Structure 1
Amino acid sequence: MDYLIGVDVGTTSTKAVLYNQEAKVIASFKAGYTLYRDASGMAEQDPEAIVTAVKQVIRQASQKADLVTGKLLAVSFSSANQSLILLDQNHQPLTRSITWADTRASRVAENLRRQLVAKTLFAHTGTPIHPMSPLVKLMWLKQTQPALMAKARYIADIKSYLFWKLFQTFKVDISIASCTGLFNLQTSTWDEEALALAGVSEEQLPQIVKGTSQAHDLVPAAAQEMGIPANTPFVYGAFDGALSNLGVGALKPDTVAITIGTSAAVRVATTKPVIDPQERLFCYAIDEGMYVVGGPINNGGDVFQWAVEHLVDNSAVKQNGGSAYDLANEVIASAPAGAHGLVFHPFLGGERAPLWDANARGSFFGLTPLHTRADMLRAVMEGINFNIATVFAAVRDLIGEPTSVTATGGFAQSAVWKQMMADILNVTVNIPESFESGCLGAITMAMKSLGLIDDYAIVKNFMGPVESYMPDQKAVATYQEYLPLFKQVEELLSPAYSVVAQLQAKQKS
């Protein structure tokens, strides 16, 4: 038996999934690390901890494989996008990895949005002006830490740094490059205007390569630590969202992919860049000649986790003997659609699409003495799905009516959530059996790189059984009354977000 390993480098953990040559899952492994956060909006990772985690899970996967009678064909990578690491002349980190979730550049983003150049930048790069963007992060560092920027010889993301540590080559796949705000979608090169604003040169950035490009000749110590042959091809892959589309076979404009993990996203694939004139949605590359259009959402499973921690009765959990999440789902199922007139806006961590406002804050609207914990829990889950629905509507407006919607992520373990999504979107939602769509997309890209397949469409043969949820028309009718209210309250509160964010920051200081 021959093997492939898909690696997904995430915000708080790295996963490796071991597949056979028919893309069947054999085993999966996970290693966590700290996301360092504070009241200023910092959200950073230790890049060395990530390198260690990657080596650990690849070693565990290789030990599970029989490499005596079989061969490790390739290792391929998915990773979170929009990270930033400043490196010195020896490629040693001057900073930790500043992640997509870091909001310290909020004021820089606000100022940039007011400038005429902002529209040009978005049209060229497809990246919204937001503190998540490496362009905005670099502008912030240039303003706040000029001495540190002056020391920076190279500008990396977590994947290009990882490949440097493993191969001593400084390259980045086109997909990750396209998410930086520094990449021109029309020319497929670094954008001169964006580089000038960031205060960096092309020579400081990694060389851009195809996602199917391979790195060879592992650093001997790394090969030994991972327990794999040094000549094993490592395929660059793409960013996690792009590979999630690939991993669920959502490769045409009429097929929408939705993922809900800690955060969430709604995406469709296109064969050319499509720029949203209203600047609600991003446009990034999957690989050469393949693009993904959609909206990332800060507030997904993490908001539900917050609700479960604060609204589920721990004594009831002990009495029932299950988990807090199981009890939460039972309680939510007992409350009616619309949560007795309670609406929740899930913006606990600011918001990217559709608001692009790092100051956005969460709220319950419509609370009365009659509302219960069950109503509040249901309103939280509905609020997350309402927010997804607003991004879904923007994608539909720009690209056209979808014929298929496929959803993946940890939420898929909740039957009530899956049905709620179908009801709020008013579409049939298909849930593949395999949740690890990013790793599956990564190894599919590796198979294309190795010449084992000719067309990515074959991934549908790898997905396994698919479960479908049809909308309940009674619930649909209720939600179609509530969704306009969700949007109305969002618009009314929007001017107050920056004020409350400033008051909160003042109390924390």
Structure 2
Amino acid sequence: MDYLIGIDVGTTSTKAVIYDKKGKIYGYANKLYPLIQENSDMAEEDPDVIFDATVAALKEVTGKVDGKILGVSWSTQQHSLIALDQDHKPLTNAITWADNRSEKYASAMDKDGSGLELYKRTGLPNHPMGPVYKILWLKNERPDIYKQTRYWVGLKEYLIYRYFGQLKEEYGMAAATGLFNIHTMDWDEESLKLTGVTRDQLPELVEATYQVKGLKPEYAKEIGFDADMPFIMGGTDGALSGIGSGAIGDGEVSVTIGTSGVVRTFVDKPQIDPKGRIYCYPVMDGKWIIGGPVNNGGIVFRWVRDNLFAPEKALAKEMGEDPYDLLTKIASKVPAGSDGLIFHPFLGGERAPIWDGNARASFFGLTRQHNRSHMVRAALEGIVYNLYTVELALKEAAGEPKKVMASGGFARSPLWRQMLADIFEEPVTIAESFEAGCLGAMVIAQISLGLADNLSVVKNFIGKTNTYQPNPETYANYREIMPIYIRLGRKLESEYTAIAEYQRKREPKE
């Protein structure tokens, strides 16, 4: 039998799924790794640790089958940056999308309008997540590293180099750097001039379906691959999770909540928001993806678990219960709207729709009648409130959605599924599909290898779907509290920079 592997290199783990040509799953692996955070603005990862995780994941799923592996396809986190020396050795860790140290350079370009102009050319919103801003930070504050840098790459490009000794970058990942012009489909001359980066410091641009060949023998042997087996470039984790959720048709919106979160839809041509609130990146076959990512998805739930419910976390583990399941049970006993307790979930700054690296989280409306149960529900609701404000911006750009489909770790929770339908006040469809990013990568592999004609083949693989209808009694509560959430957020914006600067003065230095 022939098989395909989709591998999803995320922020906290690498996941690999092995499929047959009909999309049946034969194996799954999940390899965790740490985020390096010495202060609240820093968010790095060791790229060699992640490389080892990909080897281990691929080896594990390959060992579950007896047959020919036709190819491996990538889904990888966006916006990472690694500086390489002339021997292709890392001078930095992978500086991730969550790293906020270039905030002042993004803010300066926001104030003078050049950030909006860069967005109009590149589709990258003005925010320190962008590698273009990270390079400016290194240029000005780490000049020793900047001067030694021979190549600028992201995490996927580094991994492919380790496997093949080739520097390649597909168009969607390139667009997420802020160095790529989405209108000319080439590196952006103005961004290169701004950063001082030259074309020969960047990888070769290729399509999502491009096959990289020439796997180094030592990795072919260790994993169990044929030496001539191709790796397919694939795409960004955002685009491929959208594909894997099945939301590829006109007007179909996908919502994903994993560590972070995103609301997105596919369009047929570049579409720029005059206010710069949503990204726009190419995918393949004349498809573009527009949407808004949020920093604060499941990572907020983890913070609640570890900091507000540590005793319950320990008790759940002793009882063999998932601590998250216990917390959702606790939250479900609190009425929708958390009796007027609102949580702005900006624990790690925020991307869409406010694009403010200095944003900070807050509870508002606390009274003596509130307890930790209210706080956990308010935190879950705050995540979805924020995603709803992203959908409002997306509606302005792309019109009313015809269908909302959801995926990600949160989709396992019936409470969050219903919460999403109630807050969005729209039916929400959950597909059975497992690990949407891996599935999306596998679909790209099918197209690349001539097994499928276009992205619509994913409809054959997503399995059964369940649709959650909004509850009129519940969404009436949310309809009343959402305007308060939005107005309050606008009033707090003027103080985010002040409190962030106060905090930075008191944090340990690198």
TM (norm. structure 1) is: 0.97
Partners of 1:100 and 1:480 lie apart in 2 by 32
Aligned residues: 506
Of 255, 258, 283, the match for 1:258: 255
Q: Which residue of 2 aligns with 1:20?
A: 20
SS in structure 1 of the partner of residue 451 of structure 2: coil
- What does residue 506 of structure 1 align with? 505
CA contact (8 A) 1:138 1:199 kept: no
Contact 1:125 1:185 in 2 (8 A): yes
**Distance in structure 2 (CA, Å) of the matches to 1:416 and 1:354:** 24
Q: State, as a whole percentage, how many aligned pairs show the same letter.
A: 45
Comparing 189-198 and 47-56, the one that deviates more? 47-56
Is 1:440–2:423 an aligned residue pair? no
313 and 121 in structure 1: CA distance in 2 versus 1, 3 angstrom threshold: closer
Partner of 1:482: 481
Three-state SS of the structure 2 residue aligned to 1:37 is coil
Paired letter, 2:503:
Q
- Among 91, 111, 119, which residue is 1:114 paired with? 111
Q: Deviations over 1:82-135 (max 9, x none)?
A: 111111112111111111111010111111112232222111001011110000
Give the alignment of 1:69-108 within 5 angstroms.
Answer: 70-108=67-105
Alignment map for 1:148-167 (pairs within 5 Å): 148-167=145-164
Q: How far apart are 1:434 and its partner, in Å?
A: 2.1
Between the aligned partners of 1:342 and 1:317, the Cα distance in structure 2 is 26
CA distance in 2, matches of 1:497, 1:433: 40
Residue by residue, what CA displacement relative to the aligned partner does 1:417-473 show, whole Å, maximum 9, x if unpaired? 110110000011111112311110101000000111112111011001111110001
Deviation at 1:316? 9.3
Q: Secondary structure at the match of 2:28?
A: strand
One-letter code aligned to 1:43: A
Q: Identify which of 233, 236, 242 aligns with 1:236.
A: 233
Q: 1:300 and 2:297 equivalent?
A: yes
User: Does the 8 Å CA contact 2:116/2:126 hold for their aligned counterparts?
Assistant: no
- Note if 1:173 corresponds to 2:170: yes
Q: In the TM superposition, what whole-angstrom CA distance separates every residue of 1:249-281 from its partner, at most 9, and x where no partner exists?
A: 222340000100010000000111100111111
Q: Which amino acid aligns with 2:498?
A: V
The answer to whether the 8 A contact 1:268-1:292 is kept is yes
Aligned counterparts of 2:398 and 2:56: Cα–Cα separation in 1: 41
Corresponding residue number in structure 2 for 1:49: 49
- The residue number in structure 2 matching 1:5 is 5
Structure 2 CA distance, aligned partners of 1:188 and 1:310?
Answer: 46
Residue 280 (structure 2) pairs with residue 283 (structure 1): yes
Q: Which amino acid aligns with 1:325?
A: Y
- Which moved further from structure 2: 254-263 or 114-123? 114-123
Question: Superposed, which structure 2 residues align to 1:353-364 within 5 Å?
Answer: 353-364=352-363
Question: Could you report, residue by residue, the CA deviation over 1:6-49 in whole angstroms, capped at 9, with x for unpaired residues?
Answer: 11111121111011111111110011222111215111111111
| Equivalent position amino acid for 1:64 in 2 | K
Aligned equivalents of 1:323, 1:168: Cα separation in 2: 42
| Counterpart residue identity of residue 377, structure 2 | R
CA contact 1:337–1:475 (8 Å) conserved in 2: yes
Note closer, same or farther for the CA distance 1:196–1:288 as it changes in structure 2 (3 Å cut). farther
Counterpart Cα distance in 2 of 1:326 and 1:128: 35
Matched residue type, 1:50: I
Question: Judging changes above 3 Å, is the alpha-carbon distance between structure 1 residues 18 and 461 closer, same or farther for their aligned structure 2 residues?
Answer: same
Contact 1:124 1:184 (C-alpha < 8 Å) held by counterparts:
yes
What is the TM-score with the length of structure 2 in the denominator?
0.97
CA contact (8 A) 1:210 1:288 kept: no
- Select the residue among 224, 229, 237 that pairs with 1:227: 224
Q: Secondary structure at the match of 1:100?
A: coil
RMSD: 1.4
1:115-170 residue CA offsets vs partner (Å, 9 max, x unmatched): 23222211100101111000000011111122221111111111111111111111
Query: What amino acid does structure 2 have at the position aligned with 1:383?
Result: G
Name the residue aligned to 1:423: 422
For residues 105 and 94 of structure 1, what CA distance do their matches in structure 2 show? Answer: 18
How many angstroms apart in 2 are the aligned matches of 1:400 and 1:484?
Answer: 21
Contact 2:40–2:348 (CA<8 Å) still a contact in 1? no
Helix, strand or coil: the match of 2:44?
strand
Amino acid at match of 1:304: F
- Preserved CA contact (<8 Å) 2:126 2:276: no
Distance 1:129 1:316, change over 3 A: closer
Which region of structure 1 is more displaced relative to structure 2, 383-392 or 106-115? Answer: 106-115
Query: What is the distance in 1 between the residues matched to 2:25 and 2:361?
Result: 39
Gaps of 5+ in 1: none
- What is the alpha-carbon distance in structure 1 between the residues aligned to residue 150 and residue 355 of structure 2? 31
Q: CA deviation at 1:393?
A: 1.0
Post-superposition offset of 1:315: 5.6
The structural deviation recorded for 1:288 is 4.7
- Other structure's SS at 2:483 match: helix
Q: Hey, what's the Cα distance between the residues in 1 that align with 2:370 and 2:306?
A: 19
Partner of 1:135: 132
Deviations 1:380-432 (A, max 9, x none): 11111100100011111110111111100111121111101100000111111
In 1: Cα distance, 2:474 partner to 2:175 partner: 39
Contact 1:40 1:104 (C-alpha < 8 Å) held by counterparts = no
SS at match of 2:347: coil
1:239 alignment partner AA: T
Q: Write the deviation string for residues 350-401 of structure 1: whole angstroms up to 9, x where unpaired.
A: 0000111111111111111111222111111111110010001111111011
Q: CA distance change for structure 1 residues 76 and 275 in 2, over 3 Å: closer, same or farther?
A: same
